[in-house]
Amino acid sequence: MKFYFPDSQDQVSPSYDFLNDEYSPFRVRQRDDRYAHQVVTPIPYKGILVSKAIVDGSEKGTGKYNTPQRERLYRFGVREFFRLPEGMDSLGDCGAFNYIDEKIPPYSVEEVLDFYEGCQFDEGVSIDHVIFGYQPEATESDADPAWVERRRISLKLAEDFLAGIEARKSKVKPLGAAQGWSPASYADSVAQLQDMGYKRIALGGMVPLKSHEIIACLDKIGEVRHDGTELHLLGITRIGSMEEFSKRGVSSFDSTSAFRQAFMDERNNYHTAERPYTAVRVPQVDGNPTLKKQILAGAVSQSAAIKAERDCLHALRAYGKEQLDLAEAMAALETYLTLVDEKKWDKYHKNYKETLADRPWKHCSCLLCKDLGIEIVIFRGTERNKRRGFHNMTVLEAKMSELDFA
């Protein structure tokens, strides 16, 4: 089972100063910053996925690449731009979630092929239009007409995409995108894509589905899937179901879930093989809107807040080095965080105590945890948070390696 990591310019600076929370004045992001495959061992994914919407923008506006970054990607190609190691694959798609509210996709087949070929991707997914709805018993005659139209558009664009690949004699390996609202509609999409000539098919729109619903779709697809046709799950990570997915023809998937949970999840921020932990939130005084409002209103002294923040970080680092006991570390944490937001302290302090008491970073063999120590579980700024996300992907990789995909 091959895991592709969807990139969104997620890098970390190796020269970042954690004690002073400062970047080096000589840092050049594209030259100096590192991707996950450059900072953790083993590399936690087998390929990267890059969306046209992220690079070139969509109807919602500009993408996450500035003009110089975009030009470098097209000039050097995806392999050199991302410094991909030997054997790592690259997959391009359109980023359908970015134009989900549009009636039709904002890109032409020619534009998408220009993107895939210009950036020198190994593989590319046909243009699709996401169907966000699931009615397992609905036929085409009683399903939402908008869903029926989106599936029709996706299949027509897949047909045109394959024709474009053949006309250009492109080296990009095509994946046909299948959309549906039920097991039967997904199966019919796969059958039509196979008839067009696709050997690799990406199943889209399944992110909201429960695992048993995905399996129901895969079972129905299995009735029409040819021997040798491989399936890719777009945006899906379900470790507990991966073996079942594999038995039903799934050979690859992509997801940012493990990475994004590091800073987007309410509590499950730091992953281990046994369980997730809550990262300890220590916001910066000048970066926390709630605290800034209190300071401006005169309710909190800025100098007192800065001192409490410094004392809190000093106590956590001393605890990490076993120079301070848990009660003292928690006391310093409470002093600062009740100043920031007392309600949040009441909400999370038991989770923080559990994280600190268990010291999960001490039991992790990944290079990031060995290098950063307690800093990896401190929820504070992009450099710590992205590194924790990279750590989470190493846990995902380890779990995947233990599964039986025979």
Report the DSSP pairing between strands 89-93 and 47-51.
Answer: parallel
Rounded to two decimals, the pTM is 0.93
Tens of pLDDT, residues 174-228: 999 999 999 999 999 999 999 999 999 999 999 999 999 999 999 999 999 999 9
Fold type of domain 46-255: TIM Barrel (3.20.20)
Nearest to 178 by CA among 166, 164, 168, 193: 193
Amino acid at 229: T
Nearest to 18 by CA among 395, 388, 394: 388
| Distance (Å, whole) CA 369 – CA 321 | 13
Asked if residue 306 lies in contact with residue 340, where contact means CB atoms within 8 angstroms, the answer is no
3-state secondary structure of 369: helix
pLDDT tens digits in sequence order for the chain, 406 residues long: 999 999 988 999 999 999 999 999 999 888 899 999 999 988 999 999 999 999 998 666 667 888 999 999 999 999 999 999 999 999 999 999 989 999 999 999 999 999 999 999 999 999 999 998 999 999 999 999 999 999 999 999 999 999 999 999 999 999 999 999 999 999 999 999 999 999 999 999 999 999 999 999 999 999 999 999 999 999 999 999 999 999 999 999 999 999 999 999 999 999 999 999 999 999 999 888 888 888 888 888 899 999 999 999 999 999 999 999 999 999 999 999 999 989 999 999 999 999 999 999 999 999 999 999 999 999 999 999 999 999 999 999 999 999 887 6
**What are the residue boundaries of the structural domains of the chain, listed by start?**
46-255, 278-396
Which residues are annotated as catalytic? Answer: 93, 254
| Distance (Å, whole) CA 253 – CA 231 | 9
3-state secondary structure of 153: helix
Burial class (CB in 10 A: 0-12, 13-18, 19+), 272: middle
Asked if residue 52 lies in contact with residue 107, where contact means CB atoms within 8 angstroms, the answer is yes
Tens of pLDDT, residues 239-268: 999 999 999 999 999 999 999 999 999 999
Query: Residue 207 carries which DSSP code?
Result: T
